[in-house]
Structure 1
Amino acid sequence: MGVFSSWKIQSLWNYFLPFLLMIHSTVGNSRSPLIVLDQYEGSGIRLICTSETLPPELQLLWVDGKGQELAAPATTTPGNTNIASSFLLQPGSGNAVTCRIVSKVTKISAGSTSVIIADIFFPSTSRWMVAFFMIAVLGMIVIIAIFCKLNKNRWKLALSDNERKATEEEIGRLNIILEKEKVVSQEALKEVQARYENTMAELEFRSAVSHAVNITLDPHCTHPKLIIQGKNRVKLNSSDSGQKDLKGTLIAVANEGFSSGKLYWEVEVGGRPFWELGVLAETVRKRLINERLEKPLEEGYVSIQWFQCQYHCTGGNSLTDSQNKECAVVGVFLDFEENMLSFYDVELMCLIRSIPVEFFEKMYPFFNPGSDEKYLGVWHMNSPPCLASL
């Protein structure tokens, strides 16, 4: 077997130049093959092993550093008797190969040449080259950006006064159109919001109506100056309507009392200048009966009053204070689950006031018709079946 040939690479620039290196065996054997480093191919190096005037019984065979055979077909160069075999050496595969001349029958070597190629000679991408490439690309981007900026400034300076004026007029016209579109969009948004709020208010109102109950007035808990008609209508006695000093609590209390659930009833208040609707505690109701309603209410009740063209809440603080429009029919919603007493404008199906209340005992509706001679009527309620699930 021949002795390894050694080569000294003078410069790393050999990576970028095609090269041809010939490796000879130092043994005085005329049949030692010649290994040529032909070219780079992908990430490896293409090796060619040649031998002149090789007898037919011999062949070229590639083996690695461990003596394992490497498959590589032998070819004959057209026009002469040279036998050549090529092999692609990949990095990391041992980097040592041997080309042998062996007998086709006995596999005995008649001559060989070996070569070792260090990893540094295989094609690879240098980190310095990547950094240089990135810097070059960034530099080109910066140069292009500066060039575009200079051209933009030069274009602005080249505009004539007439062109600048026309541009400003166009911008002004577009701004006017934009402002108009903005106003239209805002108005449309407000309209959608108003519709949404009205729809939610109507749903809330209809949900309250689904808990309707019928209310009747208790003659035994009604002020002596009031007249009850048909169990659900009350007004001031016409003979007393001119009196200015009406003492006591000028109200009529309902027969029905409630301590749980959700209850709703409606009252026709008409166009009277004063009225009062609310609920009072059972203990207050008993005291009023004992005193024949000769003393005014002081505590234990929650109500809403209409006078001086405004709504006024007593016995609690209202959560809403936006509706002061006079209404003809008032819906009263008593919610023990939410601890809330709410009043609705039935015609508009919107909330008038909501008053949070802590209920500790049974509550009774009460009604104050004021000094007007018209009847204040509690409507008979029929809960719509379709609202029972709300």
Structure 2
Amino acid sequence: MCFSATAVFIWTVLQISQVAGHFAIIPPKNPVIGFLGEDVILPCQLITASNPESASIRVQWTFSTFSEKIDVKSYYGAKKEETQDRRYQNRTELFYTELRTGNMSLKLKNSRLSDQGKYSCTITLGKWPEEVDVELKLAANGVEPTISLELYQDWGIGLTCSSQGWYPRSPVLLWMNSEERNRTEKVESSKTEQEPGGTFRVSSSITIEPGGDNGVSCKIINSVLQSESESRILISDVFYPTTNPWLPPFIIILLIDLCLVAFVAYKLIESYQNISPSVKKKNVIQIERLHLEGAIEMNRHTRQAGGFEEQKQLIDRVKVELDFRRAQSYAAAVTLDPDHKHPELIISEDQKKIRLQPSTAEKPVTCSGTPVVVGKEGYEAGKHYWEVKVGGRLDWELGVLTQVARDKVRKEKFSGPLGEGCWALRSSREGFFTRQDGEKIKKRDVVPHKMIGMFLDQEEGKITFYNAYVGFMIHSIPIQSNERLHPFLSFVQAAEDADQSPLELIHCRAPVPLKAL
């Protein structure tokens, strides 16, 4: 039925064209949906009885706002110059080879959020103009959601799911179990925040209680594009906080025993004051025996409570590891900046690794000044984590510096030392030191420090250094600055180090112990 109606419409238009020299444009039935940042085609199909000459066609695409009508693209024939607003230069294109067949569609490149709205396609053949409106809507799918562990909440584990780069504002975030059903736990918080580029970041928090389904899925749905993105994890029972069931009875029994011992001792002492010396001596022996029995009983209960202490120590170790894994969940991609490095340092092609230039007899490497290289990325807010492989090197320095300090070092051509605006951990043969006050930090020599993790928390104003090889914290340094901060790597006294291994930025993913389904 729809095909017959369309055929009748086209036949009617062709008959009108033959009589009056008129033509028509097929209007789009629905708004055009495009992917943000990609090319979009706005349709405009001409229907006429005969193919027009391209030289006689005039095509004008305009974009209407509340205050103005913008010339997106105007074509006046093959031999005349086209016009367009400067905001659309190098971003629009007509299908010139298909104009004779009636295809007047416009290709809009690298679409932006400001491109959304109503466009008009006006076609003029001779003295006959015709116009049709085309509405453009844009949408974007965000990155794959990330599930991170937060602190313990009562007897459960707090989880947060977040993802960025979504458009429009209405993505739906769902918490699901291993059977693809909505979880029964109450969502504690849910936020949608606009990012600087206009897209949106969504996040949601939930507490998973023990004894339920340990399979957790975070699914985000874009209703405009009818698409979804999902991440799954599996939580082991060992990570739920527990308590020793024997602890309350043990405390009650211990208090009763202590009260009995104290009462008996009091009665014996009271009787001792009124009996003969020989009986006193006998009672003293009996009192000592009772005290000894009480001590033995208390020692026995203490040994029973040993299991509770061991379990408490296990929970403390799990909390330490959760802090490290939570820091890793904020992993950031850091690359080295060739424009901000010491002239005697060489950066690899992937901009992840630095080493010293080879030393020759004609040109020995002295590495004077500050052998440092700064990261391209700078951070003004939020939380960011990255790792550097130092291998067996003893002399290195890792940390962050301000934009001002970064520009100053480059201006001085790395000839002087790093000054104010620098927070770092320095390693030498004598141990670990902080840059600010030269404080020596206790170093666990039994554990190799081959991989150093750095967690920059600009919300709390500090940078924490981890031994990423085994997952424990080395030291935390407070930062008092609101400036943009850049990661940096330095060899310190590189030429004197026996191990000449390079320093390498390591790409780290979202951490385990969460086990993927």
Q: TM-score, normalised by structure 1?
A: 0.52
Deviation of 1:276 (Å): 0.7
Q: Secondary structure at the match of 2:483?
A: coil
Deviation of 1:274 (Å): 1.5
Deviation of 1:178 (Å): 5.5
Q: Measure the CA separation in 2 of the matches of 1:186 and 1:305.
A: 43
Q: Paired residue for 2:391, among 263, 270, 291?
A: 270
Q: Does 1:383 align with 2:510?
A: yes
| Match in the other structure for 1:235 | 355
Q: Paired residue for 1:152, among 237, 253, 271?
A: 271
Q: Secondary structure at the match of 2:371?
A: coil
Q: Secondary structure at the match of 2:316?
A: helix
Deviation of 1:288 (Å): 2.1
Q: Paired residue for 1:220, among 339, 360, 378?
A: 339
Q: Secondary structure at the match of 1:284?
A: helix
Q: Measure the CA separation in 2 of the matches of 1:186 and 1:223.
A: 60
Q: What are the ranges of 5 or more consecutive residues in structure 2 without an aligned counterpart?
A: 1-266
| Match in the other structure for 2:410 | 289
Deviation of 1:216 (Å): 0.9
1:292-321: CA deviations, max 9, x gaps? Answer: 212211111110011134221113698x95
Larger radius of gyration: 1
Corresponding letter in the other structure for 2:326: S
Q: 1:187 to 1:149 in 2, by over 3 A?
A: closer
Deviation of 1:164 (Å): 3.7
- Taking the TM superposition and a 5 Å limit, the aligned residue runs for 1:321-336 are 324-325=444-445, 326-336=448-458
Corresponding letter in the other structure for 2:352: N
Q: Paired residue for 1:364, among 486, 489, 492?
A: 486
**Identity percentage of aligned residues:** 28
Deviation of 1:346 (Å): 1.4
- Taking the TM superposition and a 5 Å limit, the aligned residue runs for 1:1-390 are 152-153=271-272, 156-157=275-276, 160=279, 163-164=282-283, 166-168=285-287, 170-171=289-290, 173-174=292-293, 177=296, 180-181=299-300, 184=303, 191-229=310-348, 230-239=350-359, 246-315=367-436, 324-325=444-445, 326-370=448-492, 371=494, 372-384=499-511
Moved more, 186-195 or 370-379: 186-195
Q: Measure the CA separation in 1 of the matches of 2:305 and 2:384.
A: 40
Q: Measure the CA separation in 2 of the matches of 1:151 and 1:383.
A: 70
1:327-383: CA deviations, max 9, x gaps? Answer: 221110111111111111213322111111122211110011342410111101223
Q: Secondary structure at the match of 2:405?
A: helix
- How well do the aligned residues superpose, as a CA RMSD in angstroms? 3.7
Corresponding letter in the other structure for 2:412: E
Q: Measure the CA separation in 2 of the matches of 1:231 and 1:201.
A: 32
Q: Measure the CA separation in 2 of the matches of 1:284 and 1:248.
A: 15
Q: 1:157 to 1:322 in 2, by over 3 A?
A: farther
Deviation of 1:168 (Å): 4.9
Deviation of 1:211 (Å): 0.6
Aligned length: 239
The answer to whether the 8 A contact 1:311-1:324 is kept is: no
Q: 1:295 to 1:321 in 2, by over 3 A?
A: closer
| Match in the other structure for 1:64 | none
Corresponding letter in the other structure for 1:302: W
Determine which structure has greater relative contact order: mean sequence separation of CA pairs < 8 Å that are 6+ residues apart, divided by chain length: 1
Q: Measure the CA separation in 2 of the matches of 1:340 and 1:170.
A: 59
Deviation of 1:221 (Å): 1.1
Q: Secondary structure at the match of 1:206?
A: helix
Q: 1:181 to 1:307 in 2, by over 3 A?
A: farther
Q: What are the ranges of 5 or more consecutive residues in structure 1 without an aligned counterpart?
A: 1-147
